[in-house]
A and B are shown apart, each in its own frame.
Chain A
């Protein structure tokens, strides 16, 4: 799989349900998720839980937000995803609309999906200097 440059949308797509063995924090019972286009909110995508709770999130590839974005996966994260060194992974950072109307993105704890194993998780790096709420669009 080719990864598109940071400025354009990544070519990695998953068309079926992805298994999140631990859900994501706050939604631990949601074990099955789909990644969809977000219709009019492109280049954002929609991450939707199929079970556990009625939860939808908007997300964007963190590398499209910050060109040099890098988040190291621990050995145990890789094992959980079944990710070898050669696996191309889908990265999605959750986007939030603040009460002010600003759109922010969680660069600190990205979602990582391995399309080959159809497994995903939200990664919580131990020492992550990226912001929890990086401003994507300012408040009006």
Chain B
């Protein structure tokens, strides 16, 4: 158990490794770290300033 209500279970043990499962209440989100980090990095790269908004508008106009 981790904290209140989060449980780590060993689902399978094999020669290639151990398969773990996470059981958590629905209000707690469970993600693989690398998936979360990938989306986090993408979000941080995607923030636009007012100037970039104008640039994007220009790119869209040219593309139409």
Interface of A toward B, CB cutoff 8 Å: 22, 24-27, 38-41, 44, 46, 55-58, 75-76, 79-80, 94-97, 101, 103, 106, 108-109, 122, 124, 126, 132-133, 137-138, 140
Contacts and interface: CB of A to CB of B under 8 A. Distances in A.
Determine the main DSSP class of A at the interface with B. Answer: mixed
A25 B36 CA distance: 7
A78 to B, nearest CB: 9
Contacts of B49: 56
B10 interface: no
Contacts, number: 90
Contact of A25 (B39, B55, B60, B62): B39
Contacts of A108: 39
Interface in B45-59: 45-49, 52-57, 59
Interface of B: 26-27, 29, 31, 35-49, 52-57, 59-63
Contacts of B54: 40
Contacts of A94: 42-43, 46
Contacts of B29: 22, 76, 80, 124
